[in-house]
Amino acid sequence: MANNDSNSASIDSWLKERGYSTEERQKILAKLAEHDHETMSDAVFDSIGTSDKTLDQMIAALLRD
């Protein structure tokens, strides 16, 4: 999560340097976060489809960590 916060802060700073308003930056960052979430979800389900592991096995492995 901290990495996402750091990335958002960096992107926000970059957008601000280019003259985007606070409202525009907030909208852009929200859309990027939505895209990031969708991409991550797609990647998880793609990996399940191409792996010999089931979703239950992946969850069990995540909970062990």
Structure tokens at 26: 């907030």
3-state helix, strand, coil in the chain (%, to 5): 85, 0, 15
Confidence bin at 1 (pLDDT 50/70/90) = very low
- Model confidence at 14: pLDDT above 80: yes
Q: Name which of 27, 24, 4, 6 is nearest 16 in CA terms.
A: 24
Host domain of residue 32: 2-64
Number of domain units in the chain = 1
Contact 53, 63 (CB under 8 A): no
Residue 21 DSSP class: -
Q: Rounded to an integer, what distance in angstroms lies between the CA atom of residue 32 and that of residue 21?
A: 16
Q: What is the pLDDT of residues 23-51, one digit of tens each?
A: 999 999 999 999 988 888 777 777 777 77
